[in-house]
Amino acid sequence: MVKVDGIKILDATLRDGGLVNNFYFTDEFVKSVYAANIAAGVDYMEFGYRADKKQFAKEKFGKWKFSSDEDIREIVGENPTNMKISIMADVGRCDYRNDIRNKSDSPVDLVRVATYIETISEAIEMIEYADAKGYETTCNLMSISRCTMEQVTEALEQLSQTPAMGVYIVDSYGALYPKEVRKLTRLYSDKLGPVGKLVGIHAHNNQQCAFANTVEAKNMGAKLLDATAYGIGRGAGNCHMEALLGYLNGKKYHVEPILDLVRYSMLPLKEQGVEWGYNTAYLITGLTNQHPRDAIGATKVGNRDFREQFRYHSYE
């Protein structure tokens, strides 16, 4: 049996999945995910972003773009479970001084601050703010495959002095291979371990490496592992929760509730036309270490000129 000591699994089905349907999930769907995660032993469930309503029109998105305390509360009540609740706050897209209240008034336990490496100081401000309000915090360093090791080292040194409980390797472009994930996990561990912080991984599946990379990071000591049901997430999607919990299945984690969720909620969602998952356009942006936006566009219109897509991205 695979060891799970200290592992914290976070389900990002609603948050990363919301990127493919503008966060329009039915309450019934959200409740199914919540119940399945609890039964499976998932440690954290992320409900969505807490986006700034002044920047994003409320009528253009489902409620999990904003994940208000009230909307979360409507699903989880007092959340009388062992599973904690998280939201994601993007640097520059979250009016955190107004929208993040005291923890004692909120069902949220963890605020994950997502940032590019260039905006790390704003991220640190947000982390300190949310910590002062009583939340657990992490920093999610996006597009890590575009950063130099020097940049990452510097960011980790800054983050090691914050109250964040952990920092994530976020492979936004699905560009990393297992070897690079091991190298990054080692670097993160070296910088964060001595100050008692955890290493996390959030993988994308452009090259079908999301699960393999998550397992590799775990083997190298990463403790915060992200996954989503049936891999739902932007573009090629994420590490499949049913794969990760199947791998870790045992006393602490149980894959069966997620297998049911795939059967009764995720495959039906796909069949209703919600699109995500590996294809050749996503492979190409992964191989060339590019943002998936062009591949999302190509997928939407059924553009199969892969030769041209590869040429374009190879010389970008």
SS3 146: helix
Instruction: Figure out which of the listed residues 260, 275, 291, 294 binds a second copy, where binding follows CB under 8 A.
Output: 260
The one-letter amino acid code at 116 reads Y
Query: Of the ranges 44-52, 101-109, 174-182, 187-195, which one interacts with a second copy (CB under 8 A)?
Result: 174-182
Q: Does 287 bind a second copy (CB under 8 A)?
A: yes
Q: Which pairing describes strands 166-170 and 136-141: parallel, antiparallel, or unpaired?
A: parallel
Q: Which is nearer to a second copy, 195 or 267 (CB)?
A: 267
Q: Does 243 bind a second copy (CB under 8 A)?
A: yes
Longest Cα–Cα distance of the chain, Å, equals 54
Task: Kindly state the tokens that stand for 186.
Answer: 């080692």
Q: Does 306 bind a second copy (CB under 8 A)?
A: yes
Q: Does 304 bind a second copy (CB under 8 A)?
A: yes
Instruction: Figure out which of the listed residues 143, 151, 153, 208 binds a second copy, where binding follows CB under 8 A.
Output: 208
Q: Are 81 and 40 in contact (CB under 8 A)?
A: no
- Comparing CA positions, the residue from 145, 173, 142 lying closest to residue 286 is 173
Instruction: Figure out which of the listed residues 36, 192, 210, 298 binds a second copy, where binding follows CB under 8 A.
Output: 210
Number of residues forming the site for a second copy (CB under 8 A): 40
Q: Does 178 bind a second copy (CB under 8 A)?
A: yes
Instruction: Figure out which of the listed residues 16, 46, 99, 242 binds a second copy, where binding follows CB under 8 A.
Output: 242
Q: Which pairing describes strands 136-141 and 110-115: parallel, antiparallel, or unpaired?
A: parallel
The minimum distance between CB 233 and a second copy, in angstroms, equals 14
Instruction: Figure out which of the listed residues 280, 297, 300, 316 binds a second copy, where binding follows CB under 8 A.
Output: 280
Within a 10 A sphere around the Cβ of 311, how many other Cβ atoms? Answer: 13
SS3 143: coil
Q: Does 289 bind a second copy (CB under 8 A)?
A: no
Helix axes 149-159, 120-132, angle to 10 degrees: 20
- Phi/psi class of residue 79: alpha, beta or left (left: φ > 0; alpha: ψ in -120 to 50)? left
Instruction: Figure out which of the listed residues 81, 143, 153, 219 binds a second copy, where binding follows CB under 8 A.
Output: 219
- Give Cα 138 to chain centroid, integer Å: 11
Q: Does 153 bind a second copy (CB under 8 A)?
A: no
The one-letter amino acid code at 133 reads K
Instruction: Figure out which of the listed residues 211, 222, 224, 233 binds a second copy, where binding follows CB under 8 A.
Output: 211
Q: Does 175 bind a second copy (CB under 8 A)?
A: no
- Comparing CA positions, the residue from 112, 191, 119 lying closest to residue 159 is 191
Binding site for a second copy (CB under 8 A): 177-179, 205, 207-213, 215-216, 219, 230, 240, 242-243, 246-247, 249, 255-256, 259-260, 262-263, 267, 278, 280, 283-284, 287, 304-307, 310-311, 314
